[in-house]
Chain A
Amino acid sequence: MSAFLEKLWEIAPALVEGTPHARELGIKFVAVDKGLGTLSMPYNDTLIGDPRSRVIAGGAVTTLLDQACGMAAIAGFDGFAQLATLSLRIDYQRAAKPGKTVMAEAVCYKTTRHVAFIRAIAHDGDPDDPVATAQSCFMLTGPLYKVPSKAGQTAGKEDKTS
């Protein structure tokens, strides 16, 4: 695992916890890997969008997917940076089952100098039976901070190629 991924694993829970709206919805960090981000959102009454069926709101799934896509984008850029969502497309395959934790798994499959392209799914237990699928673009809004490998000498310095 790269030095950056090790560092990301270390601070990712705080990145999610430090995002007020993610904390408000109860979103939790699960995992990161190269270009991958996984988050979870336990069922909560405050997320309900349809009081008759007690199904959570599409908007809550939107936020979970947005947050997971952002995490995957950071992992894809291979450095720490401020990001902004440019676009987000979501297809809702079915209602999330009331009471179930929803997971979002995002894959950053391409990054350019300033833009990351991400695919994601949200499911409530079985990734082969998703609740929603998403496609998003994120943009860097500031400098990209690379984490040097342990032998490296550019500790904490801004990557000039970004």
Chain B
Amino acid sequence: MSQKTATDLISAIPYAKTLGIEVEYKEDGLLLILPYLKSNIGNPTLPALHGGAIGGFMEVCAMAELGRRAPDLPFSKPIGINIDYLRRGKPVTTYARATIFKEGARVANVRVRAWQESEDKPIAALSGHFLVPKKR
């Protein structure tokens, strides 16, 4: 995979475009970037990003990391996910990186961490099972 295939993977998803997601290709995994957009705000008074936008961003991150391994296959589908919200999502750029904990024949277990200023201060974490498309 290259930066171009990673970008193509993300730009093929209309929902990822709605959130404004960008991707940076790295040797050891994909770095997903969610630039600040007013349309991703959930609480305008604080202000804070919408929990759903952060959750959706992390779901896309998990699916992109799984898709990176098999770009020609359909996307993986989430089965069950747990999201923990750890800090307020400030109106700044958010990053996410996924780790595949276990990859089985049908199901993969993925963990995603989302952060803003510093990777060791996560604002949210996702863990979930995803249905992996069958290889032909």
Contacts and interface: CB of A to CB of B under 8 A. Distances in A.
A91 B12 contact: no
**B interface secondary structure, majority:** mixed
Given A24-B39, A46-B14, A89-B83, A57 B59 contact: yes
Nearest to A24: B39
Interface residues of A, number: 39
Contacts, number: 134
Given A22-B50, A50-B75, A89-B83, A59 B39 contact: no
Given A19-B43, A21-B41, 12 more contacts: A46-B18, A47-B15, A48-B13, A49-B13, A51-B12, A59-B52, A59-B56, A66-B52, A85-B51, A86-B84, A88-B55, A90-B78
Interface of A: 18-25, 45-53, 56-60, 62-67, 82, 84-92, 95
Interface of B: 12-19, 38-46, 48-53, 55-57, 59-60, 63, 74-75, 77-85, 88
